[in-house]
Amino acid sequence: MERPRALISVWEKKGIVKFAKSLSEMGWIIVSTGGTSLKLRESGIIVTDVSEITNHPEILDGRVKTLHPAVHGGILARRENSNDMKILNELKYGAIDLVCVNLYPFENVAAQKPPVSDDILIEMIDIGGPTMIRSAAKNNKDVIIATNQSQYDSIINELTKSNGKSSGINTLMRKKLALEAFQSTAAYDIVVSNELENRFINHQMPMKIQITSDVGKELRYGENPHQPASFYPSNAIEASGLAATLQHGGKELSFNNYLDLDGALRIAKGLIIDIDNEYSHGCVIIKHTNPCGVAIDKHQSKAWENALASDPESAFGCVIAFTTIVEKETAELIGNHFFECIIAPGFDEAALDILSIKKNRRMLTINDLSARKDELRIRQIEGGWVVQIQGPPNIDWSTAKCVTKRSTNEDEILLAKFGCTVLSEIKSNSVALVSKTDTGMATVGIGPGQTSRVEAVHIAARRAGPQAAESMMISDAFFPFKDGIEAANKIGVKTIIQPGGSIRDQEVIDAANEYGMSMIFTNKRLFLH
């Protein structure tokens, strides 16, 4: 009986010596190429070069090594097909029973700074590797396909049970390995396609949406208990965002937790742009993806107190984000307040101990809390997807214009910047009331997601109560009528920030002048649907 053959050709060589040695000790013939062959030989493993079975040297600086009928015939031949096996025998090609391949590190090279040249990057597009993977996966009934180190031990364990016979790998396992193989080449092709589109075409928007992910993590349920749900991390080189958090205590995150944490992070990352040396701490309180309160302050504890004061009723069962490491004093002030999660760049040991006293609280450390940037955001709709560039408000305040008799000062502009950052992540139509505090800035009332802008003003006013007096009102879109200005005047608003652009702008400006308000047109709408 012929000894089984394994073709091993990998770029990432971690674990490969142990894998190949185990196969060799079970009587397998090891066929290999280039650097893999060299490493295995250095480890004392007997190796047959691919060129020995193809009777053809590697050519074109290694571009062509395994693209040969002796290789792919050996992989694709159907063992139960007599004609296939007859052809192999006539051509003196041996069957290949296991293929172990991982691919050139295209993504790693593409991510290098400064960027490598197109010529260098092109050489990182693997040809022979994906071809062998696809051939082996297609013929999984007869060929075992391994594409990553995590599979090596389970393959060896099953082969050991069958004294090294490839038949020891059952049908279910073969199909699972084949599926993982096809998924690996699909993800690889998407990375290549996206990177080359950026380099060759460089459109602001992609020609096609092509995304790939890491293995999904099943969640307890979706938005409601009857809905199955999972979280799929990006398969980028380095995990980021919510995929890169370290959870301290509590049960697994839910679907709704992920959405709320995402909303909290977007505002927190926006605040980092507004935070300076004077206001170094930011706090965001989220409920059902909308902020209840947001504050920046010289002191973290005050940022928490002021954010909570904006809407303490809605903040029951909230998600909280801090832009700085959570301090003991802040944790003590949070006390018994009911929250689902806190996310921050870290936690003082004492703060973590205090916050962990109550059961099921989840504290998450995120290491990459950096200022928000413009990014591609994708949403699925019936029949397809809509895509847009989304990021911080990016308002050019040098072109913003005060349109009223009463002017604004530099401090009000700073407050407006803070308010616009918050408002840009509130569901439209919305308004936010913001004020200066003793040591920072904070929302005092938020009117989110209303079909009527006047109604949004009324909600914000009710939540602000007496704090509405002397506040600044930020609107995500223009006021179509003066009734919104009239409502703002009744609660004591002194400054209004809005994009402008209504056919009744003059009517609105006249109303602001009548009530002694200042009004700035930013020329930028901040809708969030």
CA distance linking residue 177 with residue 516, whole number of Å: 72
Tokens of 108: 């790693």
Catalytic pick among 288, 337, 358, 417? 288
Residue 287 near residue 260 (C-beta atoms within 8 A): yes
Parallel, antiparallel, or unpaired: how do β-strands 495-498 and 384-390 relate? unpaired
Sign of the alpha-carbon torsion through 484, 486, 487, 493:
positive
What is the Cα–Cα distance from 247 to 343, expressed in whole angstroms? 9
* Burial (Cβ within 10 Å: 0-12, 13-18, ≥19) of residue 56: middle
Say which of 21, 138, 298, 417 is annotated catalytic: 138
Give 278: exposed, middle or buried? Use CB within 10 Å, 0-12, 13-18, 19+: exposed
Write phi, then psi, for 518 (nearest 5 degrees): -100, 150
Whether 138 is a known active-site residue: answer: yes
Active-site residue, 299 included: no
Side-chain half-sphere exposure of 423, counting CA atoms within 13 A: 34
Instruction: Confirm if 91 and 73 have CB atoms less than 8 A apart.
Output: yes
Helix (H, G, I), strand (E, B) or coil at 66: coil
Are residues 329 and 461 in contact, defined by beta-carbon separation less than 8 angstroms? no
Q: Please report, for residues 64, 65, 82, 125, 411, the alpha-carbon distance to residue 60 in angstroms, rounded to integers and kept in the order given.
A: 6, 9, 36, 14, 66
Residues 95, 98, 101: CA angle, nearest 5 degrees: 120
Which residues are designated catalytic?
138, 288
